[in-house]
Amino acid sequence: MTAADFTRWFLALFFVGVAVFYTARILVLSRRHHASPVFTGKPGTLHFATHAAFRFFRIVIFAVCLVRLLWPSFDRYLVPLYVLWHPFVLLLGDGLLVASFAAILLVHFYMGDDWRSGTRVDEQTRLITSGPFAISRNPMMLCVVLGQLGLFLALPSVFTLICLVVGLWAVINQVGFEEQLLRERFGAAYGAYAARTPRWLPSGLATSGRGRRSKPPPVQ
């Protein structure tokens, strides 16, 4: 089996697994809290458009990975970037996807019932400043970006390049919305946390601070 054939199967199975995980996660939290953990913003706003774009591309990516498994020649419609179709590059993309999802699972389990997709001012969750949140204010989003890069390398094409660009746009917008609302909800507590913890990656772990879990977690 070639790296391309392996990756074809890997991507289909990978995104089935991702879909099953998030569907189960949302259903469990919805039943436990009698409310959906997913907040999409008000229709007509940039917040809503960001969520809609992210959901649309997630569904399209899932469909594409299944279709190309059953119909390999479908790849030509994705406009492959053959200069990157090298076994090392494809397998590197697979590895980044695995690493990304493994890290996402760890963050999910660390957050427990406090995980949210989006946030709102009246949401009753706490502010997590320990664990992965002591290194970055947005560890979940960093994992998402890593996964988006992994998809592009595992399936180098104009299609996945567009997905990568749109994904980065959506992540940056979503982080902005969430941080603004978190400042409104937690005030000085969030300000102090933001002052000592970088939004993305620390310039050095020694300067990122250890962080601690305070009583009023975030929502990713």
Task: Examine residue 62 and state whether it is found in any structural domain, yes or no.
Answer: yes
Task: Examine residue 219 and state whether it is found in any structural domain, yes or no.
Answer: no
Confidence of residue 207 (pLDDT cuts 50, 70, 90): very low
- Predicted confidence (pLDDT) per residue in 162-197, tens digit: 999 999 999 999 898 889 888 888 899 999 999 999
- Predicted confidence (pLDDT) per residue in 64-88, tens digit: 999 999 999 999 999 999 999 999 9
Q: HEC string of the chain? A: CCHHHHHHHHHHHHHHHHHHHHHHHHHHHHHHHCCCCECCCCCCCHHHHHHHHHHHHHHHHHHHHHHHHHCHHHHHHHCECHHHCCHHHHHHHHHHHHHHHHHHHHHHHHHHHHCCECCCCCCCCCCCCCHHHHCCCCHHHHHHHHHHHHHHHHCCEHHHHHHHHHHHHHHHHHHHHHHHHHHHHHCHHHHHHHHHCCCCCCCCHHHHCCCCCCCCCCCC
Task: Examine residue 187 and state whether it is found in any structural domain, yes or no.
Answer: yes
Task: Examine residue 112 and state whether it is found in any structural domain, yes or no.
Answer: yes
Task: Examine residue 200 and state whether it is found in any structural domain, yes or no.
Answer: yes
Specify the CATH number for the domain of residue 57: 1.20.120.1630
- Predicted confidence (pLDDT) per residue in 111-131, tens digit: 988 888 876 666 677 888 999
Task: Examine residue 85 and state whether it is found in any structural domain, yes or no.
Answer: yes
| Pairwise CA distance, residues 185 & 39, whole Å | 16
In the chain, the number of structural domains is: 1
The residue segments making up the domain with residue 129 are 3-208
Task: Examine residue 108 and state whether it is found in any structural domain, yes or no.
Answer: yes
